[in-house]
Amino acid sequence: MKRIFLGRPIHWLFILLIVGGGLALGLERLHVIHFNTFVITLFAATVVLLGLVLATAKGDDPLTRDPIPELGEEQS
C-alpha cells in the first residue's frame, strides 16, 4: 500500500477531516447564508491543517513518485 499512498497515514486522516468539514459546512449552507463565517472558518481550517502537516512531516518523506530535480539541474 505504501507504493499507492504516498505520505504518512496521519496526512490521509487530515484529508478525511477536510472532506468531512467541507461536507458539514455545505450542509449548513454557510457558503450561501453566512458567507463571512464560511470564509473565516475555511481560512482558519487551512492554516491549522497546513501547520499540522508541516509539524508531522519529516524532511525525507517522499512528496511525489518522481524525483524532484535540484536547482540548476537540467531536465530531460
Half-sphere exposure of 31 (CA within 13 A, CB side): 9
Residue pair 6/17 in contact by the 8 Å Cβ criterion = no
Q: CA-CA distances (angstroms) from residue 13 to 1, 10, 20?
A: 15, 5, 10
Residue 41, Cβ density class (10 Å: 0-12 exposed, 13-18 middle, ≥19 buried): middle
Query: What pLDDT shows up at residue 11?
Result: 83
**Mean pLDDT in runs of 10 for the chain (76 residues)?**
75 88 88 90 91 83 73 67
Q: What is the pTM assigned to this prediction?
A: 0.66
